[in-house]
Amino acid sequence: MTLQLGQVAPDFEADTTQGRIRFHEWLGNSWGVLFSHPKDYTPVCTTELGMTARLKPEFDRRNVKAIGLSVDTLDRHAGWEADIAETQGTAVNFPMISDPDKQVATLYGMIHPEADPSVTVRTVYVIDPNKKIRLMLIYPPSAGRNFDEVIRVIDSLQTTDRHKVATPVNWRPGDRAIVLASLSDEQAKAQFPQGFTTEKPYLRWVDLPKENA
């Protein structure tokens, strides 16, 4: 199955380290980060799971729930989580999906046809409260994921949803944003009473309220 940005993320039921869930129900009104791992006891993913656990306060602040997936079984998940707590200094504090029959991995297109069919592609999905896919990232086995970038994009998505703007390269909260090209100058003046700066007719900058940026 080929998934696209803006498409509703497929719903599913699965066993996790925190009990059986129905994915959409588990998400509720939260944003979600669903990320897959080739299998348990993999070194790069061990560091990623530790980082995700450490980032829980940041995810909570943004109303984001994290959930991992591996094709291994729950008993192996439990052993791996013990290793993660030991080596990364943080206990895993989010559910890990057990997907030994690869139903969820197949549903989300995580099995690459030219790779080992027993392992999943290392994919990250960011899903909004409307259950729509807003970001997809695919990493090779050797490169650890950049969760600073995942957080940054979530900040951008939440800001652009709230203020109806776009964000430029390397944008961070507090930086100026871009007025949407679809807005005329008159519409932009009405939407942004604080004013905006026109660098080019198609490139207009606006400072967002600090308390809401």
The set of catalytic residues is: 45
Distance CA 125, CA 94 (A): 16
Beta bridge partners of 70: 37, 98
Token pair of 2 as six digits: 């080929």
DSSP 131: S
Q: Which residues contact 53 (CB under 8 A, 6 or more apart)?
A: 84, 88, 90, 91, 92, 93, 94
Residues listed for the chain: 213
Tell me the backbone φ, ψ of residue 78, rounded to 5 degrees: -60, -45
Q: Which residues contact 130 (CB under 8 A, 6 or more apart)?
A: 8
Strands across the sheet containing 165-166: 165-166, 177-179, 203-206, 197-200
Q: Using N-to-C axis directions, what is the helix angle for 43-54 and 74-88, rounded to 10°?
A: 70
Token pair of 112 as six digits: 């690459």
Distance CA 83, CA 19 (A): 21
